[in-house]
Amino acid sequence: MKKSICTIFIVLIYVFSVVPVYAINETHDLRTPGSIAPLFTHICILTPGLTINSSGKATCIGDVTIYNNSYSTVLTVQLQKSTGSSWSTIKTWTNSGTGITGVLIEENHYVVRGTYRVRATAKVYDTYGMLLETQSLYSAIVNY
């Protein structure tokens, strides 16, 4: 009797100690582990950036990577200036690329005193040229 109770007890411990494990079938290129990013459908990472040095040189950055190596991406980076209650675009750059490496735009533009931000817009197209996703993100606001 003691032996059967002990055996039942060991079986119960074994059954209830099993932990289910779930794994994803895809691997993604996450450049900054532990970072928090919005979840997009076809876009892996979309990063806008803006710095302005003491002489007024604004460095505008847009970077996008996608999940599918056969899709193409069009990236547009807009430097915007605050005009009271709205934003006006003062300079625009566009570039495109194919594959998961995506597109990087890093351009400079001299600005006058004011409040600025960068808008990065990524469009992902499949192999047939059909638009799959469009997303825009804004950089932090920089006062110069």
Q: Which domains does the chain have, with CATH numbers?
A: 41-143 (2.60.40.10)
Closest CA relative to residue 81, chosen from 55, 103, 121, 110 = 110
In the beta sheet, which residues pair with residue 110? 57
Q: What is the pLDDT of residues 52-63, one digit of tens each?
A: 999 999 999 999
Q: Show pLDDT as tens, one digit a residue, over the chain (144 residues).
A: 666 776 776 766 766 665 555 444 444 444 455 555 567 889 999 999 999 999 999 999 999 999 999 999 999 999 999 998 999 999 999 999 999 888 999 999 999 999 999 999 999 999 999 999 999 999 999 999
Give CA–CA dist 101/93, Å, rounded: 18
